[in-house]
Amino acid sequence: MLSPEQMSRVLIAAPKDVMEPVISELHRQRLFHIEDFVENDEEEYAGYRIGVPLEGAKEISKDLLRLRSVTGAFSLRAEDLDPSGKIRKSQLTAQIEQELPGIEMEVEELLSRRTELENHVKELEQKIEALTPFSEMRADLALLHGYRTLAVFAGYLSKKVDIGVPCEEYYSESKKGNFLVAVVPVEYRQEVERKLLDAQFQTVPVPDESGPAKERISVYNVQIETDRKDLEEIATQLDALKSQYSEFLIACDELLSIDAQKAEVPLRFATTDHAFIADGWVPSHTLSSLTDGINAVSGGRAFVAKLPIQKERDVVPVEYDNINFAKPTQFLMDIYSRPKYTELDPTLIVAIVFPIFFGLILGDVGYGALLLVASFGLRKLLKGSDGKMLLDIMRNASISSIFFGILFSEIFGFKLPWAPILPSRHLNIGGEGGHGPAIPELMIMCVWIGIIHITAGRILGILNHARRAQGGAFDIEEASEHHGNQRSHHVRAMLANLGWIMVMWGILVMIWSAFPMPLMPDLTGFAPLVMGLTLPLIIGILLVVPGVVFIFRESALELVELPTILSHVLSYARLVGVGVSSVAIAMVINFITIGLIIEPQLENLTIFGAIIIAVGVIVWIIGQILNTILGMIGGGLQSLRLQYVEFFTKFYKGGGKKYSPFGEIRRFTED
């Protein structure tokens, strides 16, 4: 909790003849995060080269490529499929040899036939397009080309022109434009061209066909129709193949991908002629099981050593270490940035605070219940771990929304039978809602939340630097004068964080001593002590001045940021602002549909009135659903923003490297 999983740097050295079993074991355990070996000129790396892939890697890759062309055509994805059971590797390998080539050939044949047909249809459609301008002309198209003594003009023009030379012409007017076909003796060509140019003549090429255009078009249309039928037939065949083989294909894909991964992993190892070295990370508490596993498969011929972590050089991969409740929130952390290895991991705090803020914004029993149902209903649609995490976050948030809905006494913008326990958010819309919302109380409540949240962030900032001053999460002693420097830097940073807290609370005390406010301590009643200053004012000044000095000592530039104390605290007012606007929308929907549409009809009911009532109900449902979606987006994003911007900026940097162990979870196959 609050810090990432502890990692150990591990070096595995073994003779090459046990490379394959060791790789298989690493893949099976799925614990070893490999550090890629990079060839370099440093003395300690002399003589080591990057490894070469295992035997058969090429064939596996080729097979995989062919298989992927099939799964690609079916747009098959492993996430969309629930395995009905696991196939044994030996059985699947046999099947791959016997069945896969046949399936591949069948699919390829269908695909190439499909491309052929699609091209043919496109060709025919182009021909029809070329023929369409001539469709009203009854003459045979063969009469329009192949002359030496005659020139043929075909095209659209803006208005009818008198060509003025001996000619045969066809002219028609339609919406598309005025279409002209004229056949003139060749000697008049230039004269006609000039005349047509004046009428903005746009040439249309004469299709190289024979017979009337209309006839040709219908012939082509019949051909397109047959092609389309064939295409449909192919689509059903492909669908049948897909539903028949999808699980088998995905299983093959899994098996071959794993084989390919295993075969190519030596590219990340350092090798000599007879041995190889794999460098990487494992979570410290799993180190012994990794060692035991490797010793077992290599017959004790592999050497597994734990190396000290070098703080300056090593980038430790980060894996979360959270209780189950906080695990879904890791998704929100990864969106921002994974914590560094030396940093506090605030996942648990976000997991608690995010739903609370969401509930404060969308505190409504009705909307909360709708979202809760949705978070369970969407589980069938959203597969994969990210989707599941998101839905878990949504579930927690909607439970919190129901809880705060009870406290705010709100259901779809209506009042629940009890008075709000928290300050009321009911507005005075349509003569209902009593006194209107208790805005000052709500605001002060949010300011308090802001003050506490920000103070917590700063305290975490102090803890963060304290950890690092002690060497952080590294389990080794660093002995260097560099360390001393680092230490004083961390102490200054801790004091700066304390300074920020002191300035914030100092300003608060000073404000309290000047103005009485609801829900806040009233310190206005004190008599002046010295120079007209009251005791609280003096305490405030005594907090602010050293606070500013602490901040200044860390970095003078930080002083520019002093106004953010005010803006960050006031930023929590969005909890009220967005919340009240959501309530307002709900109440307006209720007032328009129930107050203005439904209730007047109920007074003396007619058939026409019943229809209007039905319309009112539909408008109400659509309006409330829209407001639920708005509330979810608004509540989610604003709450998240308060974590990312107001909270994280106080202590959190992120930028840790993700721990991604070598190996894959097998879903469709087993050894």
Partner 1 sequence: MVGEELVGLTPEMIEASQAGMKAIGAAIAVGSTGLASAAAEMAIGSAAVGATAENKDVFGLVLLLTVIPETIVIFGLVVALLLIF
Q: List, in order, residues 6 or more apart from 328 with CB less than 8 Å away.
A: 351, 388, 389, 390, 392, 393, 396
> Which lies closer to partner 1 via its Cβ, residue 291 or residue 571?
571
Phi, psi of 277 (to 5 degrees): -130, 125
Across-strand partners of 279?
11
> Which lies closer to partner 1 via its Cβ, residue 568 or residue 666?
568
Q: How far is the CB of 438 from partner 1 (least distance, A)?
A: 8
| 320 is a site residue for partner 1 (CB under 8 A) | no
Angle at CA of residue 366, ends 360 and 370, nearest 5°? 100
Instruction: Calculate the alpha carbon distances from 353 to 160, 361, 578 in Å.
Output: 78, 12, 17
| 284 is a site residue for partner 1 (CB under 8 A) | no
Judge contact between 342 and 319, C-beta under 8 A.
no
Judge contact between 365 and 411, C-beta under 8 A.
yes
> Which lies closer to partner 1 via its Cβ, residue 14 or residue 318?
318
Selection from 374, 337, 414, 386 nearest residue 632 by Cα: 374
| 577 is a site residue for partner 1 (CB under 8 A) | yes
| 574 is a site residue for partner 1 (CB under 8 A) | yes
Which 533-572 positions form the footprint of partner 1 (CB under 8 A)?
567, 570-571
Across-strand partners of 10?
280, 306
Q: In residues, how long is the chain?
A: 671
Phi, psi of 14 (to 5 degrees): -160, 160
Selection from 58, 9, 16, 8 nearest residue 270 by Cα: 16
Task: Pick from 576, 583, 587, 598 the residue near partner 1 by CB under 8 A.
Answer: 576
Select the span of 175-183, 251-259, 481-489, 574-582 touching partner 1 (CB under 8 A).
574-582
> Which lies closer to partner 1 via its Cβ, residue 180 or residue 442?
442
CA contacts within 13 A on the Cβ side of 575: 31
| 436 is a site residue for partner 1 (CB under 8 A) | yes
Select the span of 53-61, 148-156, 431-439, 462-470 touching partner 1 (CB under 8 A).
431-439
Select the span of 77-85, 331-339, 376-384, 411-419 touching partner 1 (CB under 8 A).
331-339
> Which lies closer to partner 1 via its Cβ, residue 293 or residue 634?
634
Instruction: Calculate the alpha carbon distances from 211 to 216, 228, 630 in Å.
Output: 7, 25, 62
| 448 is a site residue for partner 1 (CB under 8 A) | no
| 336 is a site residue for partner 1 (CB under 8 A) | yes
How many residues touch partner 1 (CB under 8 A)?
Answer: 24
Select the span of 13-21, 222-230, 329-337, 349-357 touching partner 1 (CB under 8 A).
329-337
Select the span of 72-80, 269-277, 436-444, 616-624 touching partner 1 (CB under 8 A).
436-444
Which 615-654 positions form the footprint of partner 1 (CB under 8 A)?
641, 644-645, 648-649, 654
* H helices present in 99-180, as ranges: 100-131
Select the span of 158-166, 247-255, 304-312, 576-584 touching partner 1 (CB under 8 A).
576-584
Phi, psi of 652 (to 5 degrees): -105, 135
| 335 is a site residue for partner 1 (CB under 8 A) | yes
Residues near partner 1, by CB under 8 A: 335-337, 436-440, 443, 567, 570-571, 573-574, 576-577, 580, 641, 644-645, 648-649, 654-655
